[in-house]
Amino acid sequence: MTSKLCVTNAMKFFGDRTSEALERLSLGEGKAEIYEATGVTVGVHDVNFEVEQGEIFVIMGLSGSGKSTLVRMLNGLVPPTSGKIRIDGTDIASCTPDVLRDVRRRKIAMVFQHFALFPHRTILENVAYGLKVKGIGTNERLTKARAALEQVGLGAQADSFPAQLSGGMQQRVGIARGLATDAEIILMDEPFGALDPLIRREMQEELLELQRKLRKTIVFITHDLNEAMLLGNRIAIMKDGRFVQVGTPQEIVAQPADDYVAAFMADIDRGRVFTAGDVAQPAVIVNAGSAPATALAQLDRADADAVHVIGAGGLEGVATYRDIARAVRDDGALSDAVQNDMPVTGPDTPLHQLYEAASSGLPVAVTDGEGRLTGVVEPKVVLAHLSGVVPEPEPEKPAA
């Protein structure tokens, strides 16, 4: 049991006739039918997952699919009907109220959609709230709160009141309040849902930046797929209280489990999901000393348009079929065909940033940290991915 957070068979029904609802569920009846027949709302149905230390686990789904209910079960705000919710091994579904309170004080913090800042307290007091609850003395808690506030860039607003701040700033305060208690797990229920798109983008970047520094374990709820793809190390797609698919963003986009997931993926900004590394194909390479005819033969065999030339110092350049063919005809050397000025990128570059490089018509070389060629991205692949028509499964990443 190494996971930070481990949820097994979590169930939540709202209503009285839960056993009847459970029976109907096992017979395969849907959420709407069960509500009709018993008045029981299925909030969460048999959800299982684990989140590792340092991971951002995103839960997404349409409104009413049970995301808020599920995330509130993780800190016991909504007690599960059945199932286990273990935080560092402690099952908070079955522990005493004292233990639950202790877990909430030390291990888990929550950030809310509408910020939920206390309007009668200053920003600093808001951030210090979790520490106050813990019983930490005034001086120490205000010092810590100030440090947390600095982390989100709002040190100057310490003495303002929430109503004086913009939405984006208020949510930064909400995040600082979660960070101040040193909780390792942070639950975020559509934290950027109430912000306008520009601020939202900004906040997403800031969250990623913070996460790089702090390595928290984050459960992040959203109904925005692009947000999910950007932030999530793994994503769970939720429908009618169930997880229909869990996987990395790339797995989910490449292999949607069913039509529901596929429909979600339809309007995704694929350029931000896939990176050069995801779509790279093995490079066609020749040695710098080879004869042009050898290179041409290589290209014919690989049915490719350009070849990358490797010299003593590593990647030297790229040569197109046409230029090599001309070199063969003119009896020239391979070096006559080589262009040293070629598009190169790292494996983590998102595809939407490759658009320009791809428009040169040359395959984009993907190199690792030491400048070694690990693959190439063909211009047509970039365009195909951006337009949502994936020509073939990525050769380097067999479907999981």
Partner 1 sequence: MTPSEILMIPINDWVNDFVRGFLVPNFRPFFRAMQVPVAGLLNALDALFAFIPMLVMTALFAVASWRAVGRGMALFTVIGLCFIDMIGLWAETMTTLSMIVTSVLFCAVIGIPAGILAARSDTTWRIMRPILDIMQTVPSFVYLVPIVMLFGVGMPPGIIATVIFALPPIIRMTNLGLRGVRADLVEAAESFGSTRWQMLWDVQFPLALRTIMAGLNQTLMLALSMVVIAALIGGGGLGLVVNTGLGRLDVGGATAGGIGIVILAIILDRISQGLAERGSDRTSLLSVLKGYVRPQRPATRTA
Of 23, 30, 79, 118, the one binding partner 1 (CB under 8 A) is: 118
Query: Does 139 contact ligand ADP by CB under 6 A?
Result: no
Binding site residues, Mg ion, CB under 5 A: 68
Query: Does 75 contact ligand ADP by CB under 6 A?
Result: no
Nearest approach in angstroms of CB 101 to partner 1 is 4
Per partner kind, with CB cut-offs from 5 to 8 A, the member of Mg ion, ligand ADP, partner 1, none near residue 247 is: none
Binding segment for ligand ADP (CB under 6 A), chosen from 61-69, 192-200, 361-369, 374-382, is 61-69
Nearest approach in angstroms of CB 238 to Mg ion is 11
Binding segment for ligand ADP (CB under 6 A), chosen from 58-66, 91-99, 180-188, 259-267, is 58-66
Structure tokens at 136: 């930490």
Distance CA 380, CA 276 (A): 13
Q: Which residues inside 52-111 make contact with partner 1, applying CB under 8 A? A: 72, 75, 77, 101-105, 108-110
Q: Percent helix, strand and coil across the chain, each rounded to 5?
A: 40, 25, 35
DSSP 263-324: HHHTT--HHHH-BHHHH-BPPPEEETTS-HHHHHHHHHHHT-SEEEEEETTEEEEEEEHHHH
Whose Cβ is closer to ligand ADP: residue 66's or residue 80's? 66
Angle (deg, nearest 10), helices 31-38 and 18-26: 140
Query: Does 14 contact ligand ADP by CB under 6 A?
Result: yes
Query: Does 119 contact partner 1 by CB under 8 A?
Result: yes
Instruction: Lay out the sheet containing 373-377: strands in order across.
Output: 344-345, 364-367, 373-377
Query: Does 120 contact partner 1 by CB under 8 A?
Result: yes
Secondary structure of 122-176 in HEC code, one letter for each residue: CHHHHHCHHHHHHCCCHHHHHHHHHHHHHHCCCHHHCCCCHHHCCHHHHHHHHHH
Query: Does 65 contact ligand ADP by CB under 6 A?
Result: yes
* SS3 state at 396: coil
In terms of residues, how long is the chain?
400
Residues in the interface with partner 1 (CB under 8 A) total 30
Of 134, 322, 372, 380, the one binding partner 1 (CB under 8 A) is: 134
Q: Closest Cα to residue 13, out of 94, 86, 82?
A: 82
Query: Does 67 contact ligand ADP by CB under 6 A?
Result: yes
User: Binding residues for ligand ADP, per CB under 6 A?
Assistant: 14, 41, 43, 61, 63-69
User: Binding residues for partner 1, per CB under 8 A?
Assistant: 72, 75, 77, 101-105, 108-110, 112-114, 116-121, 129-130, 132-134, 161, 163-164, 181, 187
